[in-house]
Each structure stands twice: as structure tokens, then as C-alpha cells.
Chains A and B, each alone.
Chain A
Amino acid sequence: MKKLLALFLVLVLVFPILGCQSGTGSAETTEVEPEQTEATGERRTLTVANWQGYGSDAEYAVKPFEEKYNCKVVHQYFDSEEALLNMLRTGGLGKIDVVLPNMAYVATGKRENLFSPLDKTKLENFGDLKENIRELPDVLDEDGNLLGVAWTWGSTALGYNPDAVSEPINSWAALWDPANKGKVAYFDDHLTAIMIAALYSGQDPENPDLNVIKDVLLQLKDNTRLFWSSYDSFAKPYAAGEITMGSVWSGAATQLNAEGVKIEYVYPVEGAVVWTDYWCIPVNAPNEDLAYAWINWMTSVEFQSEYASDLAAQPPIPANTKVYEVLSPEVRAALYIEDIENIPKKVAFQKELPPEVNQAWLDLWNEVKATN
């Protein structure tokens, strides 16, 4: 009996301690909440769907907004664009207020009527957004209404370790070069993989000959050490020296350099893949007015300049052109946008593919990966 009691006491003591750990972080908000609820009734919650660590969940993003609009911001993360759409398709409509899809997936969502048309008059910063991305056909619906607000853009190009090669690289051919065998990493995404292979072999990245692409990719696979699918799975082996080059996001290069790991990022002569991300408001969003406020905050110079300067957070390039003037030259260089009007010279936008084509590309990529 005594032993039982002792055991019970131990458990009773330990669990609250574990519980305290979770309490320390949220102490701030719990102190504020009771006051607010008494004064204003209910504190609203804005549900934001985004990638984790992609700017919108940083403290300097959430706190000012929460204070200004007296609400709570809750994030729902997804780990792939399909997961995003899936989330909306399977019960997210009516629960999620604002979401960040890639341009290609805005088009898919458009076809499935997942996003509400946006009222441009409510968008404060619309006029400042980069012209060539803010009203692309993919983000307009049949009536010409805007479905998404351009937030950031970036590129997927060639990153390499300047100490590991004899002379600077400027072409995708370096990845196929037998001299670099076993030191190459390639982004594990069927769209990017095929587009880059198309650029390298001189074909149209939006409509390449899949048979040729397959041979090209198989050649590349011989040279490749690994396929990476998240920032960390590239950064780790790169920092350890297992790989010395690969297709990589601009933001990844920014973060690596900011953390002291040297990496050179170039836009190859054959062209780079460019992607853009848009904020959209799903149909039946519970807090539409807050969603608009959120979008305005996210596209504001104030927020975007802070995010872009936070180099260790792997920022992409902001879409608000006014921000470029505010950023310091070092930040601009780190984001690879010093010469903003001129580079990248040749780009391939990551756009939507019809489902059959998407499946065909995915099948091809899986075949390449599975072949021994």
C-alpha cells in the first residue's frame, strides 16, 4: 500500500511539471485573453494555411496582427501543394480563412471552385505588386476576377560549392558532368525535375518529349547522390560535404549562406524555373474581413521588408516592388535580386498541368526513380 501511494505521488508530481512546459510558452496569451473576452465578448480566430516556417508564422508576422485586430491567429500546415488542395477538398472549406497555394495550384483550385473571387478595392497593396505576376491568367477566373494575391516569388536554379569546382559554373550541364559524379543532389519534385531536364536538353519546358526526357533523367540519375525533398535534406548533406551541387531554391541558398555555409547560386544560361505563391481566400471562409486584413498585412512593405531581411528564415523574394527600394544592398544580393530587371534572363514558370499530363509526368519521374 505504501509503495502504491509513493508511486501515485510521483506521478502526480511529474505530470504537472510536464504540463508546465507547455504552459510557459502560452503564458502570455492566456494572461491577455481573459481581459479581452470580458471586454469584447468573443476573440475571433483566423485560420491560416501555409507551409511551416514560411514567413507567416513568424512572431513578427503574427503578433502585430493579433494585437491590431484583436484576434488569434492559428496556423494549419501542409507539406505539399496537393495536401493543401486535399485539405480544402476534405472539410477545409468553411474552416480555413486564407491559404497560400503555388500559382499552378491556384489554377487547379480555380477549376474546382475552391477559391472566392477577390475584391480588388479591398486590397491595399495590389498596385505595388510586381506587374508580371499579379494578374497572370492562372489566377484569374473566367470572368476575369482575381483569385489570388501575389505574395512572393522565387526560383529553382543551380547552387554549388565554389571550393569544390575548378571554375565557376553557369550551366545545368554541370549536373550531368561525369566529373561531378556522386556529388549531385536533385530536387525530388516531378514538375521541377522534368522542367530542368527540358531546359538542359533544349526543349520546351511546358511540353517536352517525354521519351527524350526519360533518357536525360536516367543519365542524371547516374551522377546523382540523392534526391532532396525538403530544405533540411539538402542542407545537411551539403554542409557535411556529401554533395557539392544541385538544383535548389533561391531561399535555400539564402539561408545556407546566412548560416555560414558557403554556396554559390546562379541562374544557368539555359534558364531557371520560377514559381510564385499567392494568397487566396477559400470559399466559405468564416472570417473573410479578417482574411483581407491578413492579406494586406502580408503584402505590406512593413512586413515584407522585415521578412526579406530575415535571411536565416530562408525568405523568398517579395512581390511588393516598393520593398526592393527599402532593402539594403546586402540583403538584395543575398536574395539574388540586385539586378532585378535583368535576371533571370530565361525563365520557365511553374504552371498548372492538366491532370493527365501531371500524372504522365509523375509516372515518368517514378519510373526514373525506380529504375536501378
Chain B
Amino acid sequence: MTKSRIKTWLLMLPGAGTLLSLVLLPLSLLLLFSLVTGNQISLSGALSFKNYLNIFEQGLFGPLMWKSIRMGLLVTASSILIGYPVAYGLAKVVKPRWRNFLVVMIIIPFFTSQLLLIYSLMVMLQSQGPVMTFLALFGLDPTRSILYSNTAVYLILLYQFLPYMVLSLYSSLVKIDDNIVFAARSMGASRIRVFIDIILPLTAPALFSGIILVFIPVAGSFVESNLAGGTKGMMIGSLIDSNFSVSLNMGRGCALCVLFLLIMSVLTFALQRAIRYLEGRRL
């Protein structure tokens, strides 16, 4: 079976072209500008690491980054815990007739606008709103809601990113041959065993994709924490955003971004290793 090189190149052309011009090029610009000081979108000539020094002097990057990673881990873990049962249910338990419908229903909320959903969640959680009025029956003060706190941000982020995890896991779970599971069960494996030894390895790549699609955007988010995080909710995304949108300090903003990217890449790499290990446990 010969693999024609030309064919490979042709297939890869649009993808590679996109990668080069729309990903690597902006990335290089990013790196370049992070080495430039000054406010304008022009090169002031001197390249230096001054921006990075400033950032470390300020000392905000570390704590904020850590906070964002923590939130990312929390949301991702929750989405995995919820995502697996839901995706499995969709793939194996739900009657085939309703499967399509329910899968599409997951993203129906997102046919409206993300911002609108955030606002709706806030309306739900705000004082004298539905949730607090309900909780007031249990004696909680209805004029002080759980909004403007990390809990609120967590809930909103979980809401926004759960579907990605569910869909990702679903696309892989649905392809698992039922017979394999039956065989394992008939040979005496407990449900947990089935999960660890069969489902997890087979869905590992999709799990990896799901984690990437949830963890990274959550860590970099700022809209949700700005709106609902109260005074203690600031995350690294807000810092990056304010340097770009408010003070137009391109150098500083880009440097923050590069640092953010570095850390995310390291984490992703570590994650990839972990997933490979899981995959290796295949039957």
C-alpha cells in the first residue's frame, strides 16, 4: 500500500496554510511585540525583556495565574464527572430514536447568545430572583445572593463548557462496540473495572480533546468573572484584557499572553503524557 506523498501534501495544504498564516504568524507577532516597550502599535526599535521584568516586579501574574488554573481544574473535573455519565447515557442507554434529538438539544441553549445565558444565570441567582426566593424558604437572606462570588463564576463557567465535554466524550463513546462491554461483564468485571480498563482507554483521545476544550478557555476567561465574580473574582484573563483594551499597552499585554501560553503549553504537554498512559492500558 503506497502512500503517495503528493496526496498527503495536497490534503494537508489548507490545514497547513491556515496553521502558518493564521496561527503561527500571529504567534510570532505576539512574541515580537512582547519584547517591545511602549504603548503604540508601532515598533519603537529597541527589543528588550523589560515587559517581562515589569510583570514579575508587579507580582500579580503568579497569584492570578494560579487562581485561573484552579478554576480551570475545578470546572474541568466537574465536567468530566458529569460528562461521562451523560455521554454514556446518550450513547448507550437512550433509545436510538431520541438520540439525535437529545444530542442536539445539548447545544440548543447556545443558539441564543453566550452573554445572554450568562445574564440569565445571573438573573436566576440574583437576590429576589428565582433561586434565592426558593432558598429564602430555608431561612437564607434573599437580598444577599451567592452572586458576585467564586461560586457564581464556577457555576456559570461549568454551564458554558459542560456541553463541549459531553459532546466530545459522546462522539467517542458511541463508537464503542457494545459486545466488548458485554464480554467484559460476562467475564465477571465489575462496572468500575469496565470503566477503568475498557471505556477510559478507548475514550482517552476524546477525553484529551474535551479537557483541552474546557480547561484552557476557562483558565483564560474573564467576562464571567468580571460580571459575576464580585470584588475577589479577578482572573488572569482580566489582567491581559485590561492591558490591551484599557491602556493599550501592547508590550505588556503580549508579554502576559506569552507567559500564559507557556504555562498552558506545559500543562497540555503533561496532560498528553497522562492520556497516552491511559490509552496504553487498552485491552
A and B held together in a complex: yes
A positions within 8 Å CB-CB of B: 80, 82-83, 85-86, 89-90, 112, 182, 188, 190, 221, 224-227, 229, 233, 236-237, 240-242, 355, 358-359, 362-363, 366-367, 369-370, 372
Q: Is the CB of B129 within 8 A of A362?
A: no
Q: A366 is contacted by which of B128, B226, B242 (Cβ under 8 Å)?
A: B242
Answer whether residue B3 sits at the interface, using C-beta atoms and an 8 A cutoff.
no
Nearest CB of chain A from residue B78's CB, rounded to whole Å? 23
Which of B148, B227, B246 touches A362 (beta carbons < 8 Å)?
B246
B126 and A355 form a contact (CB under 8 A) = no
A372 nearest in chain B by CB position: B232
Q: Which of B177-226 contact A (CB under 8 A)?
A: 226
The answer on a CB contact under 8 Å between A370 and B63 is: yes
A contact face: mostly helix, strand, loop, or mixed: helix
Contact A242 B143 (CB under 8 A): yes
Count how many chain B residues have C-beta atoms less than 8 Å from C-beta atoms of the other chain.
34
CB nearest neighbor in A for B38: A355
B254 CB, nearest partner CB in chain A, Å: 15
B36, chain A: closest CB distance, angstroms: 14
Residue from B64, B226, B231 whose CB has the most chain A CB atoms within 10 Å: B231
Q: Which residue of B lies closest to A367 (CB)?
A: B60
Q: In the docked arrangement, what's the CA distance between A90 and B250, Å?
A: 13
- Shortest distance between the CB of B227 and any CB in chain A (Å): 6
Q: How far is the CA of A86 from the CA of B249 in the complex (A)?
A: 12
Smallest CB-CB separation from B58: which chain A residue? A363
Q: Closest B residue to A81 by CB, please name it.
A: B246
A225 near B148: Cβ-Cβ < 8 Å: yes
Given A363-B58, A366-B60, are A86 and B227 neighbors across the interface (CB < 8 Å)? no
Cβ 8 A contact of A242, one of B39, B58, B148: B148
Q: Which of B64, B129, B232 has the most CB of A within 10 A?
A: B232
Flag whether B248 is at the interface (Cβ < 8 A).
Answer: yes
Q: How many A-B residue pairs have CB under 8 A?
A: 80
- Provide the residues of chain B in CB contact with A85, threshold 8 Å: 248
* B230 near A82: Cβ-Cβ < 8 Å: no
Contact B63 A240 (CB under 8 A): no
Compute how far the CA of A90 lies from the CA of B129 in the bound complex, rounded to whole angstroms. Answer: 43
* CA of A241 to CA of B132, assembled, Å: 12
Alpha-carbon gap, A226 to B147, bound state (A): 10
A188 nearest CB neighbor, chain B only: B226
Q: What is the bound-complex CA distance between A366 and B58, given in angstroms?
A: 10
The verdict on B239 contacting chain A, using a C-beta distance below 8 Å, is yes
| B58 close to A82 (CB less than 8 A) | no
Kindly report which residue of chain B lies nearest to residue A230, judged by CB atoms.
B227
In the complex, which residues of chain A have a beta carbon less than 8 angstroms from the beta carbon of B245? 80, 82-83
Given contacts A240-B129, A242-B144, contact A366 B239 (CB under 8 A): yes
B172 within 8 A of A: no
B43 → A minimal CB distance (Å): 14
In the complex, are the beta carbons of A369 and B126 less than 8 A apart?
Answer: no
**Residues 249-263 of chain B: 1 if any A CB is under 8 Å from the residue's CB, otherwise 0?**
100100000000000
List chain A residues, Cβ under 8 A from B238. 366, 369
Complex: how many Å from CA A237 to CA B243? 27
A229 to B248, CA, bound (A): 18
Minimum CB–CB distance from A211 to chain B (whole Å) comes to: 15
Cβ-defined contact, A190 with B246, below 8 A: yes
Query: Do B127 and A90 have beta carbons less than 8 Å apart?
Result: no
Contact indicator B127/A242 (Cβ below 8 Å):
yes
Cα–Cα distance between A358 and B58 once the two chains are bound (Å): 15
Q: Are B126 and A242 in contact (CB under 8 A)?
A: yes
Q: C-beta contact mask, B116-138 vs A, less than 8 Å → 1, else 0?
A: 00000011001111000000000
Given A82-B247, A190-B246, CB of A221 within 8 Å of CB of B129: no
